[in-house]
Homo-oligomer: A and B are copies of this chain.
Amino acid sequence: MKAYLGTVSGNSYKLRILLSLLKVPHEVVIVDLKNKQHKSAEFLKINPRGEVPAIEDGGKVIWDSAACLVYIARKHGGEQWFPNDAADMAEVMQWIALAATEIQCGFQYARRGVLQGRWTLGSLEDGQAFGKVALDVMEKHLQKNDWLALGRPTIAEPACFPYIETAPEAKVALENYPAVVKWMERCKKLPGWAAR
């Protein structure tokens, strides 16, 4: 399996976490985001959306971080990380969806604006407010639960973790979300959890 990743990309970090947790042998191909390699004609053949991450496995190409997490979990993780049962799978999907909308379109874009000065999806305040919807939902849930779904680690953890961890780079302090902070500590203690 080849994993096309960016070095500062939180979406790429999601894959690094799961690949490491599940000890999946893979080759990393670093895509040079700074020089816009992800928008090159060559890379657009791999991912027409022009984003990292993507994976290539046995001739099959999969783009999008959530789709990659699902693929890796179903192929290498058995029932633990993305289970087959309809209700259980949907419970995990709730958090994957939250990661794709409020967390990503809120905190990722706000962070990119702060770090790179590119504001393509609203202002800092827009992104902070959108991301905080997710933080509030997570805080409330994690006050009563150790994990996001099913009472155990699932792909909801690598899906939600990276842009929550970097929320302070979008100028959102996590100190008002103590249950989220404790959950992040639990994640980091999982055997094989990859550092940022």
Tell which of A28-36, A92-100, A170-178 binds the partner.
Answer: A92-100
- Contact pattern, A 49-89, Cβ under 8 Å of B = 1, otherwise 0: 11000000100101111111011001100000000111101
Q: How far is the CA of A130 from the CA of B49 in the complex (A)?
A: 11
Q: How far is the CA of A140 from the CA of B49 in the complex (A)?
A: 11
Known: A71-B86, A87-B71, A94-B64. A48 touches B141 (CB 8 A): yes
Residues on B with beta carbons closer than 8 Å to the beta carbon of A137: 48-49
Q: Chain A: interface secondary structure?
A: helix
Residues on B with beta carbons closer than 8 Å to the beta carbon of A102: 49
Residues on B with beta carbons closer than 8 Å to the beta carbon of A121: 105, 121-122, 126-127, 130
Q: Which positions in A face B, CB cutoff 8 Å?
A: 48-50, 57, 60, 62-68, 70-71, 74-75, 84-87, 89-91, 93-94, 96-98, 100-102, 104-105, 119-123, 126-127, 129-130, 133-134, 136-137, 140-141
12 contacts across the A-B interface (CB closer than 8 A): A48-B140, A60-B87, A63-B94, A66-B96, A66-B97, A70-B90, A71-B86, A71-B89, A71-B90, A97-B100, A100-B101, A122-B122
Closest 7 A-B residue pairs measured CB to CB? A122-B122, A74-B86, A71-B90, A67-B93, A100-B100, A105-B105, A75-B86
